[in-house]
Amino acid sequence: MIRRLQHVFALSEKGAKDFVKAVIWCFFCNVSLMFPVGIVMATVQYMLDTLETGGDPAEKVWVYTGIAVLVLAVLFLLHYFQYAALYLATYKESASRRVALAETLRRLPLSFFGNRDLSDLTATMIADCSSLDQMFSHYIPQLFASIFSTLFIGTCMFCFDWRMAAAALWVLPVAVLLTAGSKKLQDMFGTKNILAKRAVADNIQECLETIRDIKACNRQEEYLRGLDEKLEEAEGCAIKSELVTGVVVCTAQAFLRIGLATTVLVGAGLITSGELPFLYFLGFLFAAARLYDPLGLVLQNIAATFNAKLQINRMRTILEQPAQEGSTECDPPNFDITFDHVKFAYREDEGVLNDVSFTARQGEVTALVGPSGGGKSTACKLAARFWDIQEGKITLGGTDISTVDPETLLKHYSFVFQDVVLFRDTVLENIRLGRRGATDEEVYEAARAARCDEFIRELPKGYQTMIGENGSTLSGGERQRISIARALLKDAPIILLDEATASLDVENETAVQEAISRLVKNKTVLLIAHRMRTVTGADKIVVLSDGTVAEQGTPEELYRKNGIYTNMVRLQTESREWSL
């Protein structure tokens, strides 16, 4: 049962056990609503018996008062334990749910993120989780508890008098069917509501990411007009979704109250015929009135569960994604990277690499060059198992990287990509990210090697200067040099450089290349560059074109072949002579 609850509601094992506890305590709290009915019936019966025998009804009032106080204490304790099992446990599970999502996302291949919208993932992590917090603290456990308590109380009522029980409960199946029968309608409007909200989130995120381009093209008004339309649509979808749910639930709850009328009518008829004692009639009236409160919650919670199911399904698509796994030990005898007949595609029927084979040896610089879209960056990322290939094999020192845990594997890699990612933190800590245990002096040394020490010391607080989100306060070249310093600090045996010098001026490019040259001794370097002069010092060049290896060899060998590489060198030589 615990595993079933974990699957259905996307809960952890502890969360599923706490869910069962919450249902049990809610059940006891619902049943305890009948305690006052019992006290009233017992008190009335005592008074009637006392009056018949000519006694004083006030004689034992203190006894019933004491019982009432005891019942209040029991009710307090039951609701206290319900609160602890329901609300506190729910919020702990909420924290676990968010951590589980983050851990799952951390272990997923990048192919998953390539197929998912970032704002959709953000909505799942924030909005869906917050919504489920409310669902599990206010609706879903109470739904199950209300069902069980209604069955229990209903059975007891049938044991006393089946006619009065039927008169009070006949409305229940009709109201439940009315609510449950509208599931498809509620799902349809609920889905539209979710999609409309996601469209708004997408639009806002796109606006924030492209604000400079929007302003540069003078498209602010047009863009905001489109956002207004999406907001209006989202508002309309939310109103319709709430309206459908509200109409269904309120209609079903109103229908429940008809049961009170039928209870009165049937009870009056039975009393008139002498088949039902007045005290039983009074008890059934009190019980029915108390019973309809949890029944109303049942109907409300059924509708809420429909909405929760949509969000749970979205969350489960993340939690049940197959994560990249493998051995946590990886100590290869060398750090040669070998592509052996590798085939890879981001999507089906959209091949990127096809039968690619080459070896990047330790102690050498292997450059990947070729036309745009040839698969250079993809090959570089596949070497670090950012994605898993469809066919062939990629090995590190003879070890198939698909058998190694990604985090274990990445300890051997340093990266400098064309798209630099920096964090809203000090310059010092952004560089120290390469190796957390590094001393300040080691950070300074890496910065000097990457030729960024000079501009860092000119910042307002030097290495303690806070940089904006993703280094927004720095130039592109400065960001890239900090990224290079981070890679130098890590000092991993494998270095992947994707257009590492693309944003540098000639002077700094030469300096960084000198630093990289000192770094690559006995290391494996995979370099991607479009500037042919950047790769002239490489030990080996692999030319990728249309996802295949068109040429490979030393720069001199390839130049003599008069092929793609030679043509690229000539074109770039001619372009340097071009002027306005």
CA distances (Å), 254 to each of 174, 262, 292, 302, in order? 12, 14, 10, 16
pLDDT confidence of residue 394: 94
Return d(Cα 113, Cα 122) in angstroms, integer. Answer: 12
| Residue 408: domain span | 324-412+492-580
pLDDT bucket at 119, cuts 50 / 70 / 90: low
pLDDT confidence of residue 304: 66
Residue 418 domain flag? no
- The encoded tokens of residue 98 equal 């968010």
Residue 420 domain flag? no
Residue 535 domain flag? yes
Q: Hey, how many other C-beta atoms are within 10 angstroms of the C-beta on 528?
A: 23
Reported as a single tens digit per residue, the pLDDT across 330-383 is 888 889 999 999 999 877 666 788 989 999 999 888 999 888 888 888 898 899
Q: Are 196 and 141 in a shared domain? A: yes
pLDDT confidence of residue 121: 77
CA distances (Å), 309 to each of 100, 140, 222, 313, in order? 19, 11, 37, 6
- The encoded tokens of residue 326 equal 């493998």
The CATH number given to whatever domain includes residue 544 is 3.40.50.300
- The encoded tokens of residue 132 equal 């489920």
Identify the weakest region by mean pLDDT among 131-135, 259-263, 333-337, 403-407: 131-135
Residue 265, CA atoms < 13 Å, CB-side half-sphere: 8
Residue 36 domain flag? yes
- Give every CB contact of residue 187 below 8 A, 6+ residues apart in sequence: 306, 309, 310
Which run of H or E residues covers position 289? helix 278-319
Residue 419 domain flag? no
pLDDT confidence of residue 539: 87
Reported as a single tens digit per residue, the pLDDT across 204-238 is 877 877 887 888 888 888 888 888 888 999 889 88
DSSP letter, residue 539: S
* Residue 326 backbone zone (phi > 0: left; psi -120 to 50: alpha; other: beta): left
More confident residue, 116 or 405: 405
Return d(Cα 129, Cα 15) in angstroms, integer. Answer: 14
Q: Are 496 and 486 in a shared domain? A: no
Domain boundary among 295, 319, 343: 319
DSSP letter, residue 329: -
Q: Are 147 and 66 in a shared domain? A: yes
Residue 6 domain flag? yes
How much is the average pLDDT of 542-559?
Answer: 89
Which run of H or E residues covers position 165? helix 162-169
Reported as a single tens digit per residue, the pLDDT across 170-211 is 888 888 787 777 777 877 887 888 788 878 877 887 787 788
Residue 118 domain flag? yes
Domain boundary among 303, 319, 335: 319
Q: Are 374 and 486 in a shared domain? A: no
Q: Are 215 and 358 in a shared domain? A: no
Reported as a single tens digit per residue, the pLDDT across 475-510 is 777 887 888 888 888 889 998 888 766 656 666 666
Q: Are 363 and 454 in a shared domain? A: no
pLDDT confidence of residue 358: 93
Q: Are 486 and 500 in a shared domain? A: no
Determine if the pTM surpasses 0.75.
no
Return d(Cα 90, Cα 134) in angstroms, integer. Answer: 9
DSSP letters, 229-248, are HHHHHHHHHHHHHHHHHHHH
Q: Are 244 and 269 in a shared domain? A: yes
Q: Are 344 and 300 in a shared domain? A: no
Report the share of the chain in percent with pLDDT over 90.
8
How much is the average pLDDT of 531-558?
Answer: 86
- Give every CB contact of residue 275 below 8 A, 6+ residues apart in sequence: none
Domain count within the chain: 3
Reported as a single tens digit per residue, the pLDDT across 134-158 is 777 777 787 788 778 878 888 888 8
Q: Are 468 and 496 in a shared domain? A: no
Q: Are 485 and 498 in a shared domain? A: no
The CATH number given to whatever domain includes residue 308 is 1.20.1560.10
pLDDT confidence of residue 470: 64
More confident residue, 348 or 412: 412
Q: Are 139 and 233 in a shared domain? A: yes
- The encoded tokens of residue 364 equal 């050498």
pLDDT of 395 > 90? The answer is yes
Reported as a single tens digit per residue, the pLDDT across 50-106 is 766 766 666 666 777 787 788 888 888 888 888 888 788 888 888 888 888 888 888
pLDDT confidence of residue 125: 76
Residue 283 domain flag? yes
Reported as a single tens digit per residue, the pLDDT across 51-60 is 667 666 666 6
Reported as a single tens digit per residue, the pLDDT across 555-566 is 888 888 888 888
Show the 3-state SS of 426-485: EHHHHHHCCCCCCCHHHHHHHHHHCCCHHHHHCCCCHHHCECCHHHCCCCHHHHHHHHHH
pLDDT bucket at 34, cuts 50 / 70 / 90: confident
Q: Are 336 and 362 in contact (CB under 8 A)?
A: yes
The mean predicted confidence, pLDDT, of the chain is 81
Domain boundary among 490, 509, 539: 490
Report the share of the chain in percent with pLDDT over 70.
87
